[in-house]
Amino acid sequence: MILTAHQLSYLPWLGYFHKIALADNFVILDAVQFEKNSFTNRNKIKTSNGEAWLTIPVEMKGHMEKTILDMQMDSKSNWKKKHWNSFMLNYKKTEYFNRYSSFFEDYYKNDTNNLSEFILQSTLFFFKELKIDPKIFRLSELKIERKKQDLIIDLCKATNSNAFVFGALGKDYVDENLFKENNIGIYFQEYKHPVYPQLWGDFVPYMGIVDALFNLGPERTKEIIFEENMSKKELENILKK
């Protein structure tokens, strides 16, 4: 069984879904510290003026002592309406806008103030659209408190996983011998971003998943996620060696 783990991310990029699609098990790292200016509460879309950030404002008071699970969104601003209007303004002429408009219109009317709960709702929707179906665990429920590599090893044991998918930066800090000693295979994702048709001129990579879904629909988006990238079957064969 292959495991990967990641914080929830608002409207994640394609590489996020590739990493999770390689795994059988996915641990949501919700019991870790919230990181300011990360992709947890923001991501990019493409507009007629180039890329633009969509950011969920959060209540930052005491955030250094809070986990992602504890973070609350700022309910005083009208950011939900602004994000929905940004979708309508920049994607209403895409082929698949009407497929997703009702979901997002309702999504941005959601009255929850919890950041993690809000992002999880769209993440699960994206999984369903892309037919990505890992077994999902939450770090907060597993109650494992160790850090870094020790945390990963404990997560593998807790989820009965014998392999773990790291991001590309994992090569900079992972002690591969430590994982060998624990009989855990490892793979470092090196994602090659695909090129696909977009509105507004030349292709711009690293947009949030909505850019591909609005332009391509779910089936083609799933296909391009894997274009020139590792497939799950290929990874399984590598890990067997």
Per-residue pLDDT of 12-25, as tens digits, reads: 999 999 999 999 99
| Predicted local confidence at residue 192, as pLDDT | 97
Q: Output the pTM of the full model.
A: 0.95
Rounded Cα distance between 141 and 132, Å, is 22
| Predicted local confidence at residue 171, as pLDDT | 84
Rounded Cα distance between 173 and 182, Å, is 17
pLDDT, mean of residues 110-127: 95
Q: At residue 190, what are phi and psi to the nearest 5 degrees?
A: -125, 95
pLDDT, mean of residues 81-102: 97
Q: Which residues contact 183 (CB under 8 A, 6 or more apart)?
A: 162
Rounded Cα distance between 145 and 129, Å, is 33
More confident call, 171 vs 155: 155
pLDDT, mean of residues 34-50: 94
Q: How many domains does the chain have?
A: 1
Provide the domain limits for residue 186.
2-240
8-state DSSP, 67: B
Q: Tell me, what amino acid is at 168?
A: A
Reported as a pLDDT band with limits 50, 70 and 90, residue 75 is confident
